[in-house]
């Protein structure tokens, strides 16, 4: 039947409208939700995925709070895009996937509300869904305990906390297979578990491509595989240790299956499982503070048993010269917390009150094995001093339950009087005014150098202009020959010194601006100070810096602040808090503004 004119017009229009509808359908925006399971256990997470299609710029997703459910968005999102060509028409599809985790906090039936997004002024929503939550009866399938070694520990001691995870051994009687300890550990849900203070220890095992080793242990006549994760424990306060939020989750096997994999190898796999989770019980752990009664005045927190050795260098000095004490404190108990161990405070010990000048600041220390080594500088104030007195170090001995004090042996010391330059007093070094002076013999018409000035004036040998012309150039030449090369060398040294200070300051600024180590900042600060006092930078130490700054005439407050910052940088190398870069800049700015009197001038 021939097509009418009307049909010939309507058919193309209908075709175009159909194509437009198909195109609009391909670009329609939508949001949907997928749930891993609508039955759940208390404290066991349920994974939820929200899928958003063809909405490039959207806000959300949003979801309201539900009493009894903890709903949290997982980090990251997945983005997919695809392009299809049908009958010459290109259609692009964009999909965004966002993950959520729902953790029920009590049993019951819950309605999870819709997830919504905002897109181009419209709200798109998923459908609500129900969640049935029951209590998971773990029974004897898994248990966890945190133990401490030693079980009774004092603040200041170092021990070990161990998280023990006991998983009941599983045997499939139908297949006659018992899972080994490696297979059981593989079922622990590492990502869904929370590890609290044991997280870093577990992360270290992962980085070394290792896992906790399990051992077979009988508990209440049941065979378990016990996995242990240990971490150092250095308590800072009495009371139960705060282990953080620890919950271990796993998929405990209920049934195994045997079959061929893609390589046609016969393998055993998990056919059915159930989630179980436990929070560890804290075993009998007692953290005590050392008793207040009987504390010696010199006690500064040490707990354990210790041996004290002291060495001094040099032992032949002048009054005021620095003497470096090396104090070695060795832990003979094997339980002391050496990182927090402090040096004895010499300024508080009466034996150092007379005869020595001692810094009141704590000395920095370095841990070597079971010992910690401190260095501290002292200065003799009198040449009557003949020994370095014994140093006292008090500690609380937990095995004896009492305080004890170790004392070093006195060290012989030879102190010479300080060499002091004698100033001229009452003309003692002035030439004798009564002594005859050598006078040049006048020779009429001879050299001007043979006349005294009085004779020249009296005899009127030369006019003043002639005298200036005759005397000034030779005198200037003599002065130049005597002092010119030294002056040039001095100016050259001055320019080189200024250039060295600028370069050292620039290196220090780069270290402060970067996230460099405290050791690098300490090194560049010492290099700047060495340049500032014109000292050799090789082996330039904190003690050298303080001595040279004082000798150069810098203000006492600036020197004390410099010593404090250098000590803080030293302590930061071993785990202490690093000083603020702004404080270091403020000190250096002050030193740059200072004109000193003895070798420290800019």
Is the confidence at residue 136, as pLDDT, over 80?
Answer: no
Is omega for the bond preceding 178 within 30 degrees of 0, making it cis? no
The H or E element that residue 569 is part of is: helix 556-572
Alpha helix stretches (DSSP H) within 79-159: none
Residue 34 has a pLDDT of 94
Torsion of CA 6, 7, 10, 15, to 10 degrees: -160
Q: Where are the alpha helices (DSSP H) in 27-78?
A: none
Answer yes or no: are the C-beta atoms of 248 and 280 closer than 8 Å. Answer: yes
On the CB side of 55, CA atoms within 13 Å amount to: 23
Mean pLDDT calculated for residue range 125-149: 90
If you average pLDDT over residues 52-64, what whole number do you get?
A: 91
For residue 554, pLDDT beyond 70: yes
Of 131-135, 255-259, 458-462, 594-598, which gets the smallest average pLDDT?
A: 458-462
Give the Cα separation of 376 and 407 in Å (integer): 17
pLDDT band with cut points at 50, 70 and 90 for residue 519: confident
Q: What is the pLDDT of residues 245-254, one digit of tens each?
A: 899 999 999 9
User: Collapsing DSSP states into helix, strand and coil, what is residue 576?
Assistant: coil
**Residues in a beta bridge with 246:** 195
> Does position 425 have pLDDT exceeding 70, yes or no?
no
Over residues 6-20, mean pLDDT = 45
- Range from 344-358, 411-425, 513-527 carrying the lowest mean pLDDT: 411-425
pLDDT of residue 165: 96
- pLDDT for res 480: 61
Calculate ∠ Cα 308-310-314, nearest 5°: 175
Domains delineated in the chain: 27-134 (2.60.40.10), 142-287 (no CATH), 297-416 (2.60.40), 448-484 (no CATH), 493-593 (no CATH)
The pLDDT value recorded for residue 236 is: 84
Q: Average pLDDT for residues 11-21, to the nearest whole number?
A: 45
Evaluate whether 580 touches 586 at the Cβ level (below 8 Å).
Answer: no
**Angle, helix 464-513 to helix 518-532, in steps of 10 degrees:** 170
* Comparison of pLDDT for 129 and 513, the residue scoring more: 129
Give the CA distances from residue 415 to residues 346, 361, 386, in Å, rounded to whole numbers and listed in that order.
Answer: 20, 24, 7
Average pLDDT over residues 519-524: 85
Radius of gyration (C-alpha) of the chain in whole angstroms: 43
* Chain centroid to CA 33: 43
442 pLDDT band, cuts 50/70/90, is very low
CA 361 to centroid of chain Cα atoms: 22
- Of 179-193, 470-484, 560-574, 578-592, the least confident: 470-484
- H helices, E strands: number in the chain: 9, 35
Taking 70 as the threshold, does the pLDDT of residue 229 lie above it?
Answer: yes
Core vs surface per residue 474-499: b (16+ CB within 10 A) or e: eeeeeeeeeeeeeeeeeeeeeeebee
Region label for 337, one of left (φ > 0), alpha (ψ between -120 and 50) or beta (otherwise): beta
Least Cα distance to 353 among 378, 328, 386, 317 occurs for 378
Contacts of 244 (CB under 8 A, 6+ apart): 194, 195, 196, 197
DSSP string, 337-394: --TT-----GGG-GGGTTTEEE-SSPPPEEEETTEEEEEEEEEES-TT--EEPPPEEE
Give the predicted TM-score (pTM) of the model.
Answer: 0.53
The per-residue pLDDT for 482 is 66
Backbone angles phi, psi at 298, to 5 degrees: -90, 0
Give the mean model confidence (pLDDT) for residues 273-282: 90
* Cα(554)–Cα(443) distance, integer angstroms: 57
Res. 63: pLDDT tops 50: yes
pLDDT of 133 higher than 70: yes
379, 582 Cβ separation under 8 angstroms: no
Averaged confidence pLDDT in the chain: 81
SS3 482: helix
pLDDT in tens, 289-330: 999 889 998 898 999 999 999 999 999 999 999 999 999 999
Q: What distances in angstroms separate CA 140 from CA 177, 274, 275, one per listed residue?
A: 20, 14, 14
Q: DSSP letter string over 524-549?
A: HHHHHHHHHTT---TT--HHHHHHHH
Distance CA 168, CA 176 (A): 17
- List, in order, residues 6 or more apart from 220 with CB less than 8 Å away: 140
- For the residues 324-348, what does the mean pLDDT come to? 92
Give the pLDDT score at 491: 52
Cα distance between residue 483 and residue 489, in whole Å = 10
């Amino acid at each position: 039947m021939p097509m009418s004119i009307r049909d010939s017009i309507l058919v193309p229009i209908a075709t175009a409208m159909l194509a437009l509808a198909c195109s609009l359908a391909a670009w329609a925006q939508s949001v949907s939700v997928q749930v891993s399971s609508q039955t759940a256990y208390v404290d066991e997470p349920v994974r939820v995925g929200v899928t958003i299609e063809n909405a490039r710029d959207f806000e959300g997703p949003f979801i309201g709070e539900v009493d009894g459910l903890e709903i949290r968005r997982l980090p990251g999102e997945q983005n997919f895009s695809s392009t299809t060509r049908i009958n010459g028409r290109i259609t692009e599809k964009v999909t965004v996937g966002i993950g959520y985790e729902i953790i029920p906090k009590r049993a019951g039936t819950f309605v999870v509300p819709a997830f919504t997004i905002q897109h181009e002024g419209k709200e798109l929503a998923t459908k609500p869904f129900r969640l049935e939550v029951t209590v998971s009866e773990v029974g004897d399938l898994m248990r966890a305990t945190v133990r401490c070694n030693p079980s009774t520990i004092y603040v200041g001691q170092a021990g070990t906390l161990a998280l023990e995870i006991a998983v009941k051994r599983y045997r499939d009687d139908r297949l006659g297979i018992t899972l080994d300890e490696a297979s059981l550990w593989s079922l622990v849900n590492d990502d869904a578990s929370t590890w609290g203070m044991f997280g870093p220890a577990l992360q270290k095992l992962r980085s070394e491509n290792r896992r906790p080793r399990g051992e077979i242990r009988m508990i209440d006549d049941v065979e378990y595989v016990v996995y242990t994760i240990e971490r150092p424990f250095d308590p800072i306060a009495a009371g139960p240790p705060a282990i953080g939020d620890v919950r271990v989750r796993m998929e405990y096997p209920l049934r195994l299956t045997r079959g061929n994999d893609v390589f046609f190898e016969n393998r055993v796999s998990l056919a059915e499982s159930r989630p179980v989770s436990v929070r560890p019980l804290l075993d009998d752990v007692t953290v005590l503070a050392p008793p207040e009664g009987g504390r010696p005045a010199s006690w500064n927190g040490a707990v354990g048993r210790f041996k004290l050795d002291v060495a001094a260098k040099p032992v032949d000095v002048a009054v005021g010269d620095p003497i470096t004490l090396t104090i070695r404190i060795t832990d003979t108990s094997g339980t002391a917390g050496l990182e927090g161990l402090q040096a004895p405070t010499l300024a508080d010990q009466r034996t150092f009150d007379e005869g020595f000048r001692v810094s009141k600041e704590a000395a920095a220390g370095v841990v070597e094995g079971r010992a910690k080594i401190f260095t501290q500088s002292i200065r003799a104030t009198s040449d009557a001093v003949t020994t370095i007195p014994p140093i006292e170090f008090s500690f609380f001995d937990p095995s004896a339950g009492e305080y004890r004090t170790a004392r070093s042996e006195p060290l012989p010391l030879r102190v010479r009087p300080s060499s002091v330059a004698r100033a001229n007093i009452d003309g003692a070094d002035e030439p004798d005014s009564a002594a005859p002076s050598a006078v040049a013999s006048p020779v009429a018409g001879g050299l001007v150098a043979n006349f005294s000035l009085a004779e020249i004036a009296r005899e009127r040998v030369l006019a003043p202009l002639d005298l200036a012309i005759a005397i000034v150039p030779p005198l200037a030449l003599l002065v130049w020959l005597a002092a010119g090369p030294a002056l040039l060398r001095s100016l050259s040294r001055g320019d080189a010194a200024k250039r060295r200070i600028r370069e050292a300051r620039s290196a220090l600024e780069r270290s402060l601006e970067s996230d460099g180590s405290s050791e690098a900042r300490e090194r560049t600060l010492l290099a700047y100070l060495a340049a500032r006092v014109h000292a050799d930078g090789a082996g330039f130490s904190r003690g050298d810096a303080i001595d040279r700054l004082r000798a150069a005439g810098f203000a006492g407050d600036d020197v004390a602040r410099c010593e404090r910052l250098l000590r803080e940088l030293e302590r930061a190398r071993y785990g202490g808090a690093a000083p603020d870069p702004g404080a270091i800049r403020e000190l250096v700015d002050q030193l740059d503004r200072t004109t000193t009197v003895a070798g420290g001038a800019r």
